[in-house]
């Protein structure tokens, strides 16, 4: 009986496995992008502190990076955390 059940449900288990892998890869990609944005923000703060960029340039670039980070957080919430 268990062999028949395994044969009948094998396609569903395979599809479920594929969806889980796609979900994991999407979460990893979002996490990696968020880390890159945080690194960019750190670099931006350092440029401001050393006088390489003006306060106005800093504000513009910071706003763009924070908007991207917020968008990633929203995407992450849509994907869901397990």
What is residue 79's predicted lDDT score, i.e. its pLDDT?
64
Q: Would 31 be classed as within a structural domain?
A: no
Sign of CA dihedral 68, 74, 78, 79: positive
Q: 69 and 44 in contact (C-beta within 8 Å)?
A: no
Q: What is the extent of the structural domain holding 77? A: 40-82
**Per-residue confidence of the chain (82 residues) as pLDDT tens digits?**
566 667 777 788 888 888 899 888 878 887 788 889 999 999 999 999 999 999 999 999 999 999 998 888 887 777 665 4
What is residue 27's predicted lDDT score, i.e. its pLDDT?
80
How many domains are contained in the chain? 1
What is residue 41's predicted lDDT score, i.e. its pLDDT?
94
Task: Tell how far CA 10 is from the center of its chain.
Answer: 31
What is residue 13's predicted lDDT score, i.e. its pLDDT?
81
Kindly report the pTM of this predicted structure: 0.61
């Amino acid at each position: 009986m268990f062999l028949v059940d395994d044969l009948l449900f094998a396609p569903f288990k395979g599809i479920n496995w594929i969806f889980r892998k796609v979900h994991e890869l999407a979460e990893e990609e979002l996490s990696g992008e968020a880390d890159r944005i945080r690194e960019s923000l750190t670099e931006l703060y350092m440029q401001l502190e050393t006088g390489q960029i003006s306060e106005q340039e800093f504000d513009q670039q910071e706003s763009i990076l924070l908007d991207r980070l917020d968008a990633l957080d929203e995407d992450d919430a849509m994907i869901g955390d397990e």
